[in-house]
Amino acid sequence: MQRAIRWGMVVLALAAGAGVSAPAGRAAEDSAGAAARSLDLYRVAAPPPAVDRLEEAGFDVVATRSDGTAEIVLGPDEVARLTALGFRPTRWRDGAGRSVADLARAQLAGPGPTVWKRWDGPGGLRAEIDELATRHPVLGREIVAVRLTAGADRVPEGARPAVLYVSLQHAREWISGEVTRRLLRSLATGYGTDPVATRLLDTTELWFVLVANPDGYEQTFRPDDRLWRKNLADNDRDGKFGVRDGVDLNRNFPDHWAYAPQGSSGNPADQTFRGTAAGSEPETKALVGLAARVPFRFLVNYHSFGRLILYPIGWQEQTPTADQPIYTALAGTPVSPAIPGYKPELSADLYPTNGETASWAHGEAGALGFTVELGEGIPGSNFVFPDNEALVEQEYQLNRPFALDVARSAADPARPVSHLGHRVPSFVVDEFRTSYGDPQPVQAAVPRRLGPVEVHWQVGDDSRLLVVVGGEHRQRAATLSEPATPGERLAPVRSALAANGVEADIYDVEAHGQVAPDPLGVLGHYEAVVWTAGDGPRADSGTPLTESVSRLANEEMLALRDYLNEGGRLLYMGRDAGRPYAQRAEYNPVSDGPCLPKVRPGPSAQDEHGTPMDACVALSGEFFQYWLGAYEVAPSGGGRVGGGIAPVDGTRAPFAGLSWTFSDRIASGGNAAAYSPTTESIGGGYPDWQGRTAAGYRLNRRPAAERSRYGAGTAAVVETPWSLLFGFGFEDIATEGERAAVMRGALRFLRAVH
């Protein structure tokens, strides 16, 4: 006998009466207002540091290419603003000469799309949801969720393992809603005939929010607003719909909301505007409220475009969670991805986000969260996925196995089910080769099902200090002056410590086979660390970085960051210290070689747009800005008129009242960095991001034109509650007496009570 799911579907109101409909008068607008918004895709020449600045300035950067270009969604006002900044935006066009706006108008002309469904009206997505639930009452008329499980009228919500699928949080990403809709229909109609659907709905409850942003989605069916991303919040309360309206719902969740300037924006005109408060939007409240009533074990949030499987965390770069083995088992690896042609990676590896849905699900709602960035259908279609049934169905079928894996894994998330056969190991040990302490703690990720795991640790009461001599961060290249060797950097540090009666252990990265000190095996045994960087000078250290840096720059950074996260205190110093991070220099994690194409020409050597690919990734800029407290760096910013490095005057503890000078050895090339501290640059709106000038270069006589060239920052030393950053090395300070005095101030800071 055929089984039916006649009792298995309930449509619930998530935000009934929440006011997500457009206010009266906003739906009707004149053509001039629409033209002022008319969004299209443009391409500009912009290296990674420039892209970062554009994003910080509120531009909607949607893609960054390895050929040094970026693609940005712009309206007429933004085109003018970008041009005024010195860029030359050119409208993107496909092989037939059509812009994205042209493609959108063609899709929406005449009778309209054949595949895509609006939210409103007969045949719309809302009507289809109602049709699927005709045997059950529909409560509310705003944002709806579908609960799909066998015997839904008899089984309480949350009684079975639950999974939530969300789409169309960003209005313009139509393909996301279609993938979710087809998954819902296939499971609902397959119950009783399809063994997979039947088994799933007998044992789990699957929830679907097809359109998490119905107002914004409906707006995108107007050609001039096809690329609209946000909801329709009336930010300026003028009763009209304009460029300063709308909130990015995927930046509005109460997890690290407004944590950093990067990752979301406080500018209402920005496409990543986070809203006025965490969870301020009715659409956000709807999902938060649903998660409060149903203990979801997984959340899958569909977006486009990019062909990625992202997982937490998104608010801090290169930071896996303790559930990384589960995420990897389900999402796969770049070599064996769960969705063919997609790249699995940490969310922040794409770009940092805060107030984001999947990180909120993981950190606050107790659910494992994925963000799936779907494809374009045809390369170059961007957000205007073709109105083509075959291509849409192909994208859905490509994603279906992963979606089903997540549903099957809800019964026991610690033992996820992968159609590729990926498994979670019982132990994932944090390995290291060198230990500087006894006893030595160890750590591992262990599934809870194995029972209690005893953790032993020891807190020492000594004040031991470690000096880490960093490895060579630059790729070897001809320069006017070579950086100081490890021995040249170490000797003056040891001498200054000895002058203050302090002995220190030494870790030389080069001597340890170019291996950064492990935070657990080495750094964790010390209350304070002095780190001498090998960033070194270049032929003209006032020019942008063009060559790649060594993988050590990234590995040492991660070690420092982990050490600081565990309460350590750090002095980080060196010529142009921190510059590779500030300018997001690239490194090759595979071969540690230059950033050039590494594979033979052909499809495997290109991204989906045909752009040549290399094996390189950018260093983290947030480490420099957050942990080291310097928002921007001015290479050679300590140089004074007439040559040489300007003297330094202390401005706050522990250097208040202290002054020192530099030797002539670094006069040629001028390679002491000046910084703009974070707190002084962005204000106190981000309490987790701190950095103030502790000592500054004496540059008052520099002409205004040269001050502009070197940047506004004049800090020689930046202080945070946990670190000191020097833009020079101890080998560059003029006299032994001055070195000893500077080290004395640094030691007062490093020995401060935690």
Is the peptide bond preceding residue 519 cis, with omega within 30 degrees of 0?
no
Distance CA 473, CA 583 (A): 14
pLDDT, residue 436, reads 84
**Rounded to 5 degrees, what are φ and ψ at 603?**
-55, -35
Give the CA dihedral 104, 110, 111, 117, nearest 10 degrees: 10
User: Which residues have CB under 8 Å from 28's CB, separation 6+?
Assistant: none
The structure tokens listed for 397 are 């079928």
One DSSP character per residue, 615-676 reads: S-EEPPHHIIIIIS-EEEEETTTTB-TTSSB--EEE-STTSTT-EE-B-GGGTTTT---EEE
pLDDT, residue 479, reads 41
**In terms of pLDDT, which residue wins out, 616 or 332?**
332
Going by the DSSP 8-state scheme, the letter that residue 634 receives in this structure is E
pLDDT, residue 724, reads 96
Residue 5 predicted with pLDDT over 60: no
pLDDT, residue 37, reads 64
Single-letter code of the amino acid located at 201: L
Mean predicted confidence (pLDDT) in 620-643: 80
One DSSP character per residue, 308-355 reads: EEEES--SSTT---TTHHHHHHHHB-SSSBSSTT-EEEEHHHH---SS
User: Which residues have CB under 8 Å from 466's CB, separation 6+?
Assistant: 436, 504, 505, 506, 507, 517, 522, 523, 525, 526, 528, 529, 530
Provide the pLDDT confidence category of residue 142 given band limits of 50, 70 and 90.
low
pLDDT digits (tens, 9 = 90+) for 512-524: 988 999 998 999 9
Residue 541 predicted with pLDDT over 50: no
Provide the pLDDT confidence category of residue 105 given band limits of 50, 70 and 90.
confident
Buried b (16+ CB within 10 A) or exposed e, 102-118: bbbeebbeeeebebbbb
Residue 708 predicted with pLDDT over 60: no
User: 60: which strand partners?
Assistant: 73
Provide the pLDDT confidence category of residue 451 given band limits of 50, 70 and 90.
low
Going by the DSSP 8-state scheme, the letter that residue 627 receives in this structure is I
Q: Do residues 724 and 734 make contact, with C-beta atoms less than 8 angstroms apart?
A: no
Distance CA 301, CA 209 (A): 10
Provide the pLDDT confidence category of residue 614 given band limits of 50, 70 and 90.
low
pLDDT, residue 632, reads 85
**In terms of pLDDT, which residue wins out, 606 or 343?**
343
Q: Do residues 261 and 248 make contact, with C-beta atoms less than 8 angstroms apart?
A: no
* Domain range annotation of the chain: 9-24+110-409, 465-584+619-750, 592-618
Angle at which helices 486-499 and 736-750 cross, to 10°: 80
Provide the pLDDT confidence category of residue 672 given band limits of 50, 70 and 90.
confident
Please name the fold of domain 9-24+110-409: Aminopeptidase (3.40.630)
**In terms of pLDDT, which residue wins out, 584 or 268?**
268
Per cent of the chain over pLDDT 90 is 43
Q: How far is CA 750 from the centre of its chain?
A: 31
Residue 534 predicted with pLDDT over 60: yes
pLDDT, residue 111, reads 75
Residue whose pair of structure tokens reads 């640790």 in the numeric block: 457
Residue 117 predicted with pLDDT over 90: no
Provide the pLDDT confidence category of residue 667 given band limits of 50, 70 and 90.
very low
- Range in 330-344, 533-547, 598-612 the model is least confident about: 598-612
Is the peptide bond preceding residue 601 cis, with omega within 30 degrees of 0?
no
pLDDT, residue 712, reads 57
Residue 597 predicted with pLDDT over 70: no
- Range in 343-352, 427-436, 595-604 the model is least confident about: 595-604
Residue whose pair of structure tokens reads 């909130």 in the numeric block: 247
**In terms of pLDDT, which residue wins out, 541 or 176?**
176
Distance CA 471, CA 557 (A): 12
For the chain, the first-to-last Cα distance in angstroms comes to 70
User: Which residues have CB under 8 Å from 607's CB, separation 6+?
Assistant: 65, 66, 613
Give the CA dihedral 723, 724, 728, 734, nearest 10 degrees: -140
Distance CA 676, CA 746 (A): 20
The structure tokens listed for 520 are 């657990």
Residue 357 predicted with pLDDT over 80: yes
Mean predicted confidence (pLDDT) in 694-711: 59
Residue whose pair of structure tokens reads 């086979």 in the numeric block: 513
Distance CA 711, CA 632 (A): 9
pLDDT, residue 279, reads 95
User: Which residues have CB under 8 Å from 411's CB, separation 6+?
Assistant: 161, 203, 204
Instruction: Tell me which CATH homologous superfamily contains domain 465-584+619-750.
Output: Class I glutamine amidotransferase (GATase) domain (3.40.50.880)
Whole-model pTM: value is: 0.78
The structure tokens listed for 16 are 């009934």
Distance CA 7, CA 545 (A): 63
Buried b (16+ CB within 10 A) or exposed e, 378-393: eebbbbbbbbeeebbe
- Range in 245-249, 494-498, 613-617 the model is least confident about: 613-617
Going by the DSSP 8-state scheme, the letter that residue 629 receives in this structure is -
Specify burial of residue 659 (Cβ count, 10 A radius: 0-12, 13-18, 19+).
middle
Mean predicted confidence (pLDDT) in 644-660: 91
Number of H helices, E strands in the chain: 20, 27
**In terms of pLDDT, which residue wins out, 486 or 706?**
486
Angle at which helices 195-203 and 389-409 cross, to 10°: 40
Helix (H, G, I), strand (E, B), or coil: what is residue 16?
coil
pLDDT, residue 400, reads 97
User: What radius of gyration, in Å, describes the C-alpha atoms of the chain?
Assistant: 28
Locate the DSSP E strands across 230-314: 296-304, 308-311
pLDDT, residue 615, reads 67
Helix (H, G, I), strand (E, B), or coil: what is residue 591?
coil
Going by the DSSP 8-state scheme, the letter that residue 626 receives in this structure is I
Residue 139 predicted with pLDDT over 60: no
pLDDT, residue 243, reads 85
pLDDT digits (tens, 9 = 90+) for 468-521: 998 887 764 434 345 556 778 899 999 999 999 998 999 999 899 889 999 989
pLDDT, residue 38, reads 81
- The size of the chain, in residues, is 754
Average pLDDT, the chain: 81
The structure tokens listed for 639 are 């140089």
